[in-house]
Amino acid sequence: MTETDEKLEHLREKIRTSDFQHSRGLSNEVSYYILAYDPQDEPIVAESITNMKEQLNHETVGVDIIEFNVYDIMWNLIDQMGIRDAVIDMEAEDGIDYLSEQLNNAFEMTESDNKFVKYMKNKLEDKTDVVVFVTGIGQIFPLIRAHKILNTMHQIISDIPVVLFYPGKYDSLSLSMFGEAKEDNYYRAFQIN
* pLDDT means over runs of 10, the chain (193 residues): 93 89 66 92 96 80 87 96 94 94 94 90 86 94 86 80 92 79 69 88
**Please, which residues have CB within 8 angstroms of residue 21's CB and are 6 or more apart in sequence?**
15, 61, 62, 63, 129, 131, 161
Residue 188's pLDDT is: 75
Residue 27's pLDDT is: 58
Residue 160's pLDDT is: 87
- Please state, in angstroms and rounded to a whole number, the distance separating the CA atoms of residues 109 and 154: 13
Could you write out the DSSP letters of every residue in 43-87?
HHHHHHHHHHHHHHHHSSSS-EEEEEEHHHHHHHHHHHHT-HHHH
Burial track 9-32 (b if 16+ CB lie within 10 A, e otherwise): eebeebbeeeebbebeeeeeebbb
- Please state, in angstroms and rounded to a whole number, the distance separating the CA atoms of residues 104 and 185: 18
**41: Cα within 13 Å, side-chain hemisphere:** 22
Closest C-alpha among 79, 82, 52 to residue 67: 52
Residue 181's pLDDT is: 63
Distance between start and end Cα atoms, the chain: 14
Residue 186's pLDDT is: 63
